[in-house]
Chains A and B, each alone.
Chain A
């Protein structure tokens, strides 16, 4: 089939990362500058701001694709994400949608996937009320706009938050700039431990359009382990190595190992959980993770500006507690493409390769007017997480109660259950 000959596209890339550049070179694409006539632009978030800013007068052509949505921060800033999810839940509740079903204590059954969160300084008083109800709990403070574990600390006393209490008591109201806001969430102090160590999951999800929602989950996600034993002891709250699993923080610890980088494949995690906890509960866990992601994307779908030139590959951080319940920690717009080990490099290379194949079907010129339905043969290591077009066309699947069912078709949600086929990093 000679039609599959790769088209030599022009690309611009803001980041000097081998996993990106190797992919472009392997396709014979031609590097150009961001101000030139590029067809594919892997930009960093600042450049994206410029491209879409009202003053720039930039107008994207029909054959240009870029790797961020203009206002992705609705999903990737912790405070906005929480706000959008809370609003989504309220809306479903108002409509008496079965998804918004609550249990006897008033907690959502299906939509309870973010820990209790407040924005500071805006919600300071609400937070204090909650804190006083349960004074022995730990909370985690995160700056809304930062990444890689920078600026995070743990709080178990109100005195640690003096700064915000003073601000909210001032008579001259100074609206906080986005740089100063923090979110404070209930710390999950019963994380699932394996070998006595805490870990979190890093999953990659590609979104090609929000309305209709089309998203794809990468099978080769991984778990990141803390190098130091997990210790819930109050005195250890300051020890960031114990509590934070970001690789950039773990890397500086004494026990960091560069061979495996503290990372475990999702296969190993599944094998361990199935062997020690059983298949049903493990399947339920991975199912809930899929749904958690879909709900979050749906929550922001209404506010994201669905520019058809855009796609985005997000890094999702999820923690599992020891009841095998997943919790969403945050979503990253620019997941790290630096490789810490050779398996890592191979995995990230494949990730970019598959992303490009889904966004621009191989051999074709990019055309943003297409319906963005990726062919099965181009998915690579992705599987279709949710495709709203397919869901709409299948009336059976619109029943939200089927989310935990074992029926074969769940409205565009992935059809295969059970273990993913043995895709490996190698």
Chain B
């Protein structure tokens, strides 16, 4: 059997499986099988294998392998890809990301010195008890946040991206005639509209979709009730790839939680609960400056949002432990970013005394809390919510705030947005540019937040269904283009950047699936 997986890849896969929990579980299950009287010694291997398959272990193993495949893409040079190339193959972008990280860390450190707050401190016993007592109501009586400001906001990040230049690319003209028309000036590989149409073909207009064909004015037996029946069958199969395939047409509201759990491979058992409790204990024991940043972020975003304010306390219960979770560090292998390092007091520069700060390596920016907020509609208790958020962040959202050439990284998504808009709405693009409004300036914040907080909550969830199902963030750029297209008539009348922003300020009435369908399939 020919496989396009190199022996090295398979080796890594086996290694990873052997060191994970499923290995011990399988081992134990196999022991149970062996002790069954129905298994004959002469056919031990076959007997145990069929017994394991019958009790659902084969499915579980398949799911585990599937999750591994999704997070460890096969690289083009199986033997020779150095680790840093998996993070980011282009040197100049690696350097840009490192420079950006230095800036962030510097900003964080200077906030520390200015406000005289340590990056981390151990909480006194009394404070620990008090915090443990009000763990479920952290929204009240938080730390003093008047001096805290977010480390950076999406618009700061956009400015960095705008200045990126490929040093190998010399158009040979000083007049700038051959520069790209938008804000992003990088020649990167993007998907074309045809490739996108193929990728999202299950969303074509002639296919019934959740988000379009399940609204209340359409009789349920046309689509919705069959869809739900099929969904229940899919859930019973407990097979990630099938759940993912099903989700391509959207998830019915009542089945979404379970479908996402299957797609993301989340199965919360006692070990996971214990791990979460451990993280919670870490939060109680030590106070990090990052905590105040997160508090500030929640107060600035979710608490003021009439869709998410209810979940404020849940957000703290997810975000604070998240910063202590060192398992998140493993995703940096495929992230162009690297976890920031800090040094024990007095040992600056000495590698023996460096620690990753925060422990999970992710410094939050303004709006970070909104990655969690829509999930609160699905998971009513914090532990499962935590694992769902962690999975979705380390699979997708980390790409939205680091500089890389990956087709789903924010840089490429921005460039894709600009390209699509220039190609398919050229008049609109150039008109806006002529009144001083570069469309990306408005759309960028939508992309970075994956539209959370801009669309109404049910629409965000429909959108994120497709992100999980098609395993791609490119749909964000497509949606951004379709929104501009939809409001074209009003946009063509504006005379300034502020007026354009006003036209696009309120997206809560939009229905995203029909918009995407119009954009992709009706030209």
- Which residues of A line the B interface, CB within 8 A? 194-197, 199, 225, 228-229, 255, 257, 259-260, 262-265, 267-268, 271-272, 274-276, 278-279, 282, 341, 343, 416-422, 424, 426
Contacts and interface: CB of A to CB of B under 8 A. Distances in A.
B43 to A, nearest CB: 45
A421 B253 CA distance: 15
A265 B309 CA distance: 12
Contact of B378 (A263, A276, A416): A276
Contact of A416 (B136, B216, B228): B216
Kindly name the residue among A225, A272, A278 whose own CB sees the greatest number of chain B CB atoms within 10 A.
A272
Interface in B427-463: 456-458, 461
A275 B377 contact: yes
A276 B313 contact: no
B312 A419 contact: no
16 contacts: A194-B310, A195-B310, A195-B311, A225-B310, A255-B140, A264-B307, A264-B310, A268-B307, A272-B377, A275-B257, A278-B254, A279-B254, A418-B220, A422-B511, A426-B506, A426-B508
Contacts of A422: 215, 511
Nearest to A260: B306
B306 A274 contact: no
Interface in B297-354: 303-307, 309-314
Contacts of A341: 306
Given A276-B378, A421-B217, A195 B313 contact: yes
Contacts of B509: 424, 426
B140 A275 contact: no
Given A260-B304, A276-B378, A343-B306, 18 more contacts: A194-B311, A195-B312, A195-B313, A196-B313, A228-B140, A255-B139, A255-B140, A260-B309, A262-B309, A275-B254, A275-B378, A276-B380, A279-B254, A341-B306, A416-B216, A418-B220, A422-B511, A424-B456
A416 B216 CA distance: 7
Contacts of B228: 279
Chain B interface, DSSP helix/strand/loop, else mixed: helix
B5 interface: no
A115 B228 CA distance: 36
A371 to B, nearest CB: 27
Nearest to A261: B306
A278 B257 CA distance: 10
A271 B457 contact: yes
Given A229-B140, A426-B508, A421 B306 contact: no
Chain A interface, DSSP helix/strand/loop, else mixed: loop
A199 B310 CA distance: 10
A419 B140 contact: no
B137 A257 contact: no
B360 to A, nearest CB: 24
Closest 3 CB pairs of A and B: A260-B306, A279-B254, A195-B310
A278 B312 CA distance: 23
Given A195-B310, A267-B458, A275-B257, A260 B216 contact: no
A212 to B, nearest CB: 27
B376 A420 contact: no
A181 B140 CA distance: 38
Interface string B108-128: 000000000000000000000
Contacts of B217: 416, 421
B68 interface: no
Nearest to B224: A418
Contacts of B140: 228-229, 255
Nearest to B315: A195
Nearest to B303: A257
A260 B252 CA distance: 28
Contacts of A272: 377
Nearest to B307: A268
A317 B228 CA distance: 33
Kindly name the residue among B252, B307, B378 whose own CB sees the greatest number of chain A CB atoms within 10 A.
B307
B285 to A, nearest CB: 23
A271 B458 contact: yes
Contacts of A271: 253, 377, 457-458, 461
A265 B306 CA distance: 9
B218 to A, nearest CB: 10
A257 B304 contact: yes
A279 B252 CA distance: 9
